[in-house]
Chain A
Amino acid sequence: MQEYTLADAYEVSARDYATAGDASAAIKRKLKQLGVDSAVLRRIAVSSYEAELNMIIHSLGGTLSMTMTPSEIRLLSADIGPGIPDIEQALQEGFSTAGEEARNLGFGAGMGLPNMKRNADEFNIQSEVGKGTQIRMLFHL
């Protein structure tokens, strides 16, 4: 079994646009200090930011966590609802249910999930309506 070199978790609050991106910035700062390659770091930064913002925009709150081993980095976004009724539709570029407030800030382009999928080496999404959404992403080092 591989030993974890780092494990970190950040609470993400619904609708908190003032501190949006802080969790992703903290994760990126740590990984950069650890000397993670800048191209991988960029892909992780895009993916974690999109996942974090989705929890702020669409969920009732959740946690963004990161684990790192010598060979890989995993991101987990887990929230407490409302869940996604049609995941296939949600994954389509341009599909968004973001409200007025989010759209006015430049969010809600419907590119968040596609951006995550494109940037992660492995991408897995599970969601249950009324329960919550979990997104798992893996990045090889």
Chain B
Amino acid sequence: MLKLKDVSAFYGYIHALKNISIEVKEGTIVTLLGANGAGKTSTLKTISGMLKPKKGTIEFQGRDISKKRPEDIVSLGIVQSPEGRQVFPELTVLENLKVGAYTRKDKNIKNTLIKIYDYFPILKERKNQMAGTLSGGEQQMLAIGRALMAKPKLLLLDEPSLGLAPLIVNNIFKIIEEIKKEGTTILLVEQNAYKALAIADYAYILETGKVVLQGNAKELKSDSKVKSAYLGG
């Protein structure tokens, strides 16, 4: 479904991505792991068109999207829940969700909204509250819900468990699995490698802008190198 081939990207002179090749197959969860500054967020940014690659191609359902504008990429069905949530603090919860549906032209937005309230009942309770006043966990749910409002084919999640209590983390991971079951393909960036590998089908490990390891999630979980570097033993 999504194929990055030899993608290189820069911030000024900082070489953030060095010949990254990644593939995400339809209907799977692929996870992107790595230390701080490895280039995970940058990879997602190049996919969603926020960071233009200097080199390489990004193919989505057979067409090159590396030169497309972010709004066109969203229209094609790739939507991101960004790192650090980034909800619009002075929009209500419901308005935030409506922003998520901005590119949609179909009439079924209500149904999607019902489904999202199903996943995250708290959002329904708080729908008229300013998003900036939600707790961190609620904001994370809102960010995921907002992305889902676009009815994405491919959902990009950047550290959805960041800063959340263990119970909420479990809940979020459960919902990510449900979203996959509903037919949405997911590219998941995580610090919580253990949990990410548990729900992912395939995994890539990044180090200083390069893919250093990749493989089946189950295999990587028992790989000794991965264990010592990312799973704490």
Partners in one complex: no
**Which residue numbers of B lie inside 8 Å of A, CB to CB?**
none
